[in-house]
Amino acid sequence: MKKLKVGMLTGGGDAPGLNAVIYAFVRAFFTKYPDGEIIGYKMGYRGLYFSDFISLTPKNTSGILHKGGTILHSSNKDNLFMYNVVENGERVVRDVSDEAIENMKREGVEVLVVLGGDGTLSSAMRFAGKGVKVIGIPKTIDNDLGATDSTFGFDTAVNIVTENLGRLHTTAESHQRVIVAEVMGRHAGWIALHSGLAGSADVILLPEMPYVLSKIADKIHERAREGKFFTIIVAGEGAKEAGGSQIVREIVKDSPDPIRLGGVAAKIAADLQPLIDNEVRSVQLGHIQRGGETSPFDRVLSCRYAIKAVEMIEHGVFGHMVAKIEGKMIPVPLEDVIKSNKYVTPDHELIKICKLMGITFAEA
């Protein structure tokens, strides 16, 4: 078995399961390539550009399987094809990908394993186009990558939201309040849909289905007539009122994805208050959805992704991402990965289930 040196990085937002992938990949790789070497680039593509890395071994990755976050750290601001650099005292944007490739060549890195979402994998595809042997592993709590049935991190996020909805239920019922819980997901409503169903929400608001405020009020009044004087509303951060627009929290100019959503729960609470008798409160769960221990399901899924990536190296399958399709791990071309995202459709099975259970989406 030839001596092989592999580089690995984690880009974009963090997600539970990144450490599990690193843990499993390291162990499987050294089983196949006992004389090989793995280096982990720190802070995503930034580490690739600055040649900032650490050695990854079974010893220094021991005990990280269950931990959230990433020991390699991550950044969602470093697109090396449009990178901010300072030249002659001025900040300019230029393509520094060739410098990154030269860094890999100098270190003797033959394969680059990239853990990330659509933005990170878009850059991976461009590196593959420049001759780099790249393998992608899909990561996002949003579960919105169209090329795979599920991404690691999603299950953990849903578990965290569901647990917190249970806590909100008790205080909402005690004070007979309406509580609007805002969850992550960007433009996709998968976290809101799954956690809303599992967490016994009364109203679920999705980015894909603009809501009508009066219909939310109608649901609250209906529950009051049934003797239920509290209501739990789950809103995806990308939810918007019919005829309105998404709430933008801020714009980060030096990021490949500059728009940061957030604040829809507070808006809904303020708009809803004049229409009902209950007090309305809003909660933004935010980054708590990314933290803590990785769920057992995501640990297993992460290991499956990692082992398939090692198999792809063994068989020389590059320029592809590992995908989970109909229960099987298969390689798909990186070009296919970034073609489209996966969104909730009005005819989705879970939408129908929720409606039959009395949950409203307040859609237009």
Within 10 angstroms of residue 147's Cβ, the number of other Cβ atoms is 25
Q: Which among 213, 193, 215 has a CA at the least distance from the CA of 204?
A: 193
Whether the CB-CB separation of 322 and 333 falls below 8 Å is answered with no
DSSP three-state, residue 186: coil
Rg over alpha carbons for the chain, rounded to the nearest Å, is 22
Number of residues that this document lists for the chain: 364
CA distance 33 to 174: 59
What is d(CA 263, CA 173) in angstroms, rounded to the nearest whole number? 24
Spatial strand order in the sheet of 178-183: 203-205, 231-236, 178-183, 280-284
Measuring CA to CA, which residue among 217, 235, 226 is closest to residue 275? 217
Q: What would the 3-class secondary structure string for 265-305 be?
A: HHHHHHHHHHHCCCCEEEEECHHHHHCCECCHHHHHHHHHH
CB–CB of 205/172 below 8 Å? no
Q: What is the DSSP letter of 84?
A: E
Instruction: Give CA–CA dist 261/251, Å, rounded.
Output: 9
Ramachandran area for residue 63 (φ above 0: left; ψ -120 to 50: alpha; else beta): left
Reply yes or no on whether 142 is catalytic: yes
Query: Which of these is catalytic: 142, 144, 202, 298?
Result: 142
Residue from 2, 1, 31 nearest 306 by CA = 31
List active site positions: 142
